[in-house]
Amino acid sequence: MQPMVYWFPTPVAGRLGTLPHPRGGTLLAEEMAGLRAAGVDVLISLLGVPEQEEIGLESEPELARAAGMEFRALPIFDFATPPLNAETAAFVHQIVADLQAGRSVAVHCWMGIGRSSTIAACALCALGAEPDEAFSLISAARGQPVPDTVEQWHWVEQFAHVWPQLRPKHAEHR
């Protein structure tokens, strides 16, 4: 069974999508192979360690790499937002660089709605979209409103506002 990635348009060559967490435990290797078969080059997890353990995703980084994907993580508490700082901006910048290089990036949290949509919207904003446009694109792909909370929406608005100051100096977006 191939995992469902909800792809949405970007203004560059790469593809960006969100998805619910992969099935864990004994099904995880199959899930990683399915994501790679779906064209995922970079897999990003926003789950914290307790969530990873609950689902059985402790070996996700190794199995993603074994399937031929790059793996990155930015743990964010459920229904929360990451810190609005240079580290988060650098994380988003790497997604943007991947997209500009034509890579396909898939971001997951628990259900692929709140935290995943928040980070994906930041990447779209870094590429020039307004927050409402970014969330509209993601919502259309998902077939439901995103993100989970008003706080996540406002956080993306703040991110878009401070991106010019926070982005890495060599970045030339927006």
Average pLDDT over residues 8-34: 98
Domain that holds residue 56: 9-163
Q: How far apart are CA 30 and CA 1, in angstroms?
A: 8
Strand (E) positions, the chain?
A: 6-8, 15-19, 42-45, 70-73, 104-108
Task: Say whether pLDDT at 1 is over 70.
Answer: no
In tens, the pLDDT along 128-144 reads 999 999 999 999 999 99
Evaluate whether residue 156 is within a structural domain: yes
Evaluate whether residue 169 is within a structural domain: no
Average pLDDT over residues 114-133: 98
The CATH number covering residue 130 comes to 3.90.190.10
Evaluate whether residue 42 is within a structural domain: yes
In tens, the pLDDT along 47-83 reads 999 999 999 999 999 999 999 999 999 999 999 999 9
Evaluate whether residue 111 is within a structural domain: yes
Evaluate whether residue 171 is within a structural domain: no
pLDDT at 173: 47
Number of folded domains in the chain? 1
* pTM given for the model: 0.95
Evaluate whether residue 95 is within a structural domain: yes
Q: How far apart are CA 111 and CA 104, in angstroms?
A: 19
